[in-house]
Amino acid sequence: MSIIPFHDRDGLIWFDGNLVPWREANVHVLTHGLHYGSCVFEGERIYNGSVFKLREHSERLLKSAELLGFEIPYTVEEIDAATIATCKAANMVNGYIRPVAWRGSEMMGVSAQHNKIHLAIACWEWPSYFSPEARMKGIHLQLSKWRRPAPDTAPTASKAAGLYMICTLSKHTAEKAGFQDALMLDYRGLVAEATGANFFMVKDGVIHTPIPDCFLDGITRRTVIDLAKRRGYQVIERRIELPEVEHADEIFLTGTAAEVTPVGRIDDWTFTPGEVCRNLMLDYDALVNGRLAAAAAE
């Protein structure tokens, strides 16, 4: 399969206030964000020319930076406008958007009090995170050996680049073993999330999801909870022990990239995507494509 590397593409990227040629949107090798993880980002989707939950994503980007101790030099309104301008310049109607902010290269060391804060926004075409065939059958997850850190050991409420290192390790290990993704436990050994998506399970018609006290309370997660309640489903946010998962009727993941993705297997446990998964997949698709706009505004 031919892969087009992300550094060598046509197009424009919004970079510190200007749209610049894609191949020129570069940073120095001694950038603090690269060496010390002082970098935050968002993942967004544009559907039919409208960026889904744009304001919430821009607000979270600013909050993530604040949690990492730096201030992005743009307002929410300016970031929203820059995102829209980036999509317009790319003639992007359906695709993925990546805003990213980081400390620059003025100081090299753990301390970076005087480093400039940069912001860039790129967008590209990106279909469903998992193939349609995999989604309908339910993807396969491997239990990861890595655990989500405790909130007093890392800024777990931020979408910080450094927090994804163990996600990459987990996903690579899972893929090498023939799985599509990994299920991660938290520092207590409780069910947490997948490597880039939140976790839900269904038992006797009731939806259960972990309390996001040491991982991101995803924007898609909150959206799907609202959709489920609108359908009349009971949704319980609670601590979930791993042995409970084996007896679930359905399992699914949610995220900007994953959208609503059923799970068919976790290690040796198997599940059959059912009515709840199908309904929420349909409702989410209708919402992001504007067919549930009136209901979403209620």
Q: Could you tell me which of 160, 255, 147, 157 has the C-alpha nearest to residue 200?
A: 255
- Tokens 């005087």 found at: 114
Q: Phi and psi of 107, rounded to 5°?
A: -125, 140
Give the DSSP H or E segment for 194.
Answer: strand 191-194
Return the axis-axis angle of helices 219-230 and 275-288, rounded to nearest 10°: 110
CB of 280 within 8 A of CB of 224?
yes
In angstroms, rounded to a whole number, what is the distance separating the alpha carbons of residues 35 and 14?
A: 23
Question: Which of 36, 32, 37, 40 lies closest to 121, judged by CA?
Answer: 40
Question: Are residues 249 and 204 in contact, defined by beta-carbon separation less than 8 angstroms?
Answer: yes
Can you tell me which residue has the tokens 């396969």? 140
Active site residue 137: no
Beta bridge partners of 117: 103
Active-site annotation holder among 116, 159, 176, 229: 159
From residue 236, how far is each of 18, 227, 271 by CA, in Å? 45, 14, 20
Q: How far apart are CA 233 and CA 237, in angstroms?
A: 13
Which positions are catalytic?
159
